[in-house]
Structure 1
Amino acid sequence: MSADPATSESPVRSRLVVLAGPTAVGKGTVAACVREERPDIWISVSATTRPPRPGEQEGVHYHFVSEAEFDRLVETDGLLEWAVVHGRHRYGTPRGPVEERLDAGEPALLELDLQGARQVRRAMPDALMCFLAPPSFEELERRLVGRGTEGPEERERRLRTAREELAAEAEFDLTIVNTDVRAACRELIDLFDGPARA
């Protein structure tokens, strides 16, 4: 990406893509595919107050932090965005690592929920906002049930949230329908290889 002459004193920033979508749509799976296919694309690791699910690793899937540590990050402006998700746990994106990668001219991907994506759009309006959608709501429900990581009450809470999130699709620059993970992954990678945003 070439520098704008009017802002040539500032570091050249590479493309920042924000990937958001409803619960169980496969954001993490698609992001993992991007990591595998294009290790040069840096993917932010969110901080969360929720406990790890089976198989999740600290620093790989999330930074699992205490409520007190999350409070400290909020108070010191250490998060680019943060939100309470599904009415229970807090999630946030550590600010420092994102700014470091962008200032170094590296491509960066943020995998966020809807609330976080809206905050990043306000903080970094040049980010490309990508909505990951399911083929249908019925398929989304099937994936959530099939995941087996939530009980019936939590599933219903997440499905209610998902309906609200799906209604926000028009807020995004573009939509990728996650019918096939590899195909969605390729579409997402193509966003980094396209022309830079003005």
Structure 2
Amino acid sequence: MTNLKTVVIDNAFKFEKHTVQIDLSEQTLGNLSYARNPEYKEQTLMLNVLQEGKASLYAYVDEEKKAFYYKKESDTLTPLVYKIYTNEKRSILYNKRYQQQLLTEFTCETISEKTVVKVDYNAGDLTSFFRKYNECHGGNVVEFRKKKKGTFHLKAKAGMYNSKADADLALATFF
């Protein structure tokens, strides 16, 4: 498992192992951080490849957090910055720097500021945005998504100082 780099399942799912910056800030409403900026730590994770093209989109989702990353051509993976945080009045605030990243990194005549502001921090909106960008630049777009109903679970755990890794792969029947 430690040498595993890529997993492809029926052209519906693709996972790749990458070392990325992941925000370790608490995301549950009762325990939000006062810090506006993400509290990054480098970790090696299996990322879900949502779309490949001139610009590729990756996702990491677990029970506690979700994070999206992008890569242009052969660049390294860059996190799309989004964070929920609070202030002294316990108001819920949002750092939506990812919208500025989309506006400055992905220029195209069909992508306006109005378009970017409508992009929420979720797989559907981000995939649509990346498809629009890739099509604008004439790039070939490959999307990995389930085409039929069903569930798929990929769970991998590894100790930080331990070379042993455990994996729990469950694949449900697709109808």
TM-score (normalizing by structure 2): 0.28
Q: Which has the higher contact order (CA 8 A, sep 6+)?
A: 1
The structure carrying a bigger helix percent of its residues is 1
The structure carrying a bigger strand percent of its residues is 2
